[in-house]
Amino acid sequence: MKNYMTIDGVPAAALEGSMRDFRVLEGVDLLARCNAFHEWQDTRRHSGTWPFSRATETGPAASCAVRDDRGNLCTGVNFASQDYLSLSSHPAVLEAAKAAIDEFGVHSAGSPALVGNTSISVALEDRLARFLKMKEAVLFPTGWAAGFGVIKGLVRSHDYIVMDALAHACLQVGAQAATRNVVLFRHLDVEHCRTRLQDIRKRDPKAGIMIVTEGLFSMDSDTPDLGAMQALAHEFGAVLMVDVAHDLGCLGEDGTGHIGIQDMLGKVDLVMGSFSKTFGSNGGFVATNSRAVKEYLRFYSPSCTFSNALSPAQVATITKALDIVESSEGAVLRGRLMHNILALRAGIRERGMDCYGDPSAIVAVKTGDEALARMTARALPELGLISNLVEFPAVGKGLARFRLQVMAGHTDAEITAAADRMKAAMQLGQARLDAGYDQTETRLAG
């Protein structure tokens, strides 16, 4: 038996600690040592402060039902799905996916290096390259695979990677897998990146260097000066790689994201992205101006070479989504999305909360302290807001936030409800914390 202090029935252990505590595990038994994490997770799960691994009952609609991993159902406005232009339920997209299944079946049945391509995947690579005003594009099974693969495919152990400190996990893991020579520069800081490059060039004038950044950072909703970064790459004989997972398709007049907004179309050395945010499907890509690079990636990027190609239904979904993104309907959807984004950001601020960064489909509401964030997350289902809590390792400790992801399909009423409910949940969470420890609960350990 163990004694637990509780706040409104939530054990202190659920409000303390973070996933960081279980990153490095000791002990010979690789399986048994997972137990400590599971015990901590269970303490959170059973106190309603583990808002992860939930499942939609209805698909990612603007209002929907989700079931948590204890089996509890919550219905509410959904700001936790990534479907920025609401294309995953667009009738033409659904129709295209069904037609592809009728024509090609459900499976690509091979790696793109072998015979996993279909005529429609080959055509999609071409379409994508043209959309980005690049010469070539190569598809990957997921955005994660593309981010990992472009780095691991091109960078060798004697090369260097100079990376924005907040780059996505797929880029960080790809960098670690490619070389020990990984240096981070301060988020968005071009001058700090220059210092890093100068240091490397002093030591090693002949090394290959890849600079890695994002078009729109997915936790902070901010953007580097891509022109300055590319100029820096040229100056130091490096190449620039930009991950456009969160801005391609949904930002910019023509949907080309920050690369287009900053007049850099066709001018960035390497562009990688994901289809999972705006294009209604799993999948990723790398675009380049070199046929040699495309071919090299196909055969030396392990997450492409040794992984099954996108399925025909996925390719058809992405292709139809790209048709819409490039059409006048796409422009209308982006207009609707931006209207929703601005309304939500204004609603958050009017209610005395704050959000990170610049207007994008990611409206990250500042929370900070993990205890407050978890108490707030616990209140959200009662209030009918489905939103993702982001805490370590996705952001630093003490920088927890709620990431509201806006869709073109949200109505004005759903936007207002999200702002109202976010505020109410945060107030409730704070009030419960302020009330302090209310009892000592005794329960079985383990």
Ligand X SMILES: Cc1ncc(COP(=O)(O)O)c(C=O)c1O
Ramachandran category for residue 17: left, alpha or beta (phi over 0 → left; psi -120 to 50 → alpha): left
Which one of 79, 84, 144, 279 is in contact with ligand X (CB under 6 A)? 144
Q: How far is the CB of 24 from ligand X (least distance, A)?
A: 24
Q: How far is the CB of 244 from ligand X (least distance, A)?
A: 8
- Distance spanning both ends of the chain, measured CA to CA: 9
Q: What is the CA radius of gyration of the chain?
A: 23
> Which of these ranges, 20-28, 46-54, 173-181, 239-247, lies near ligand X under the rule CB under 6 A?
239-247
Each residue 14-43 as x (binds ligand X by CB under 6 A) or -, in order, gives ------------------------------
Say whether residue 281 binds ligand X (CB under 6 A): no
Q: 280, 83 in Cβ contact below 8 A? A: yes
> Which of these ranges, 158-166, 243-251, 379-387, 412-420, lies near ligand X under the rule CB under 6 A?
243-251
Total residues at interface with ligand X (CB under 6 A):
14
Say whether residue 320 binds ligand X (CB under 6 A): no
Q: How far is the CB of 272 from ligand X (least distance, A)?
A: 8
Say whether residue 80 binds ligand X (CB under 6 A): no
Cis peptide before 393 (omega within 30 of 0): yes
Say whether residue 164 binds ligand X (CB under 6 A): no
- Compare residues 284 and 330 and give the one whose CB is closer to ligand X: 284
> Which of these ranges, 176-184, 192-200, 241-249, 340-348, lies near ligand X under the rule CB under 6 A?
241-249
Q: Which of residues 217-236 bind ligand X (CB under 6 A)?
A: 218
Residue 110: strand, helix, or coil: coil
Say whether residue 78 binds ligand X (CB under 6 A): no
Q: Which of residues 248-277 bind ligand X (CB under 6 A)?
A: 274, 276
β partners of residue 345: none
Cα atoms in the 13 Å half-sphere on the side-chain side of 276: 14
Ramachandran category for residue 225: left, alpha or beta (phi over 0 → left; psi -120 to 50 → alpha): beta
Each residue 92-131 as x (binds ligand X by CB under 6 A) or -, in order, gives ----------------------------------------
325-341 burial, b for 16+ CB within 10 Å, e for fewer?
Answer: bbeeebeebbebbbebb
The H or E element containing residue 241 is strand 239-243
Neighbours of 184 (CB within 10 A): 18
* CB-based contacts of 110, cutoff 8 Å, min separation 6: 116, 308, 309
Say whether residue 243 binds ligand X (CB under 6 A): yes
The H or E element containing residue 11 is strand 10-11
Residue nearest to ligand X according to CB distances in the complex: 143
- Compare residues 276 and 319 and give the one whose CB is closer to ligand X: 276
Alpha-carbon distance of 373 to 325, in angstroms, equals 35
Q: 422, 348 in Cβ contact below 8 A? A: yes
Residue found by looking up tokens 């700090």 in the block: 192
> Which of these ranges, 43-51, 53-61, 242-250, 311-319, lies near ligand X under the rule CB under 6 A?
242-250
> Which of these ranges, 126-134, 143-151, 378-386, 431-439, lies near ligand X under the rule CB under 6 A?
143-151
The crossing angle, in degrees rounded to 10, of helices 312-326 and 328-350 is: 80
Q: How far is the CB of 309 from ligand X (least distance, A)?
A: 15
Residues that bind ligand X (CB under 6 A): 142-144, 147, 168, 170, 214, 218, 243, 245-246, 274, 276, 284
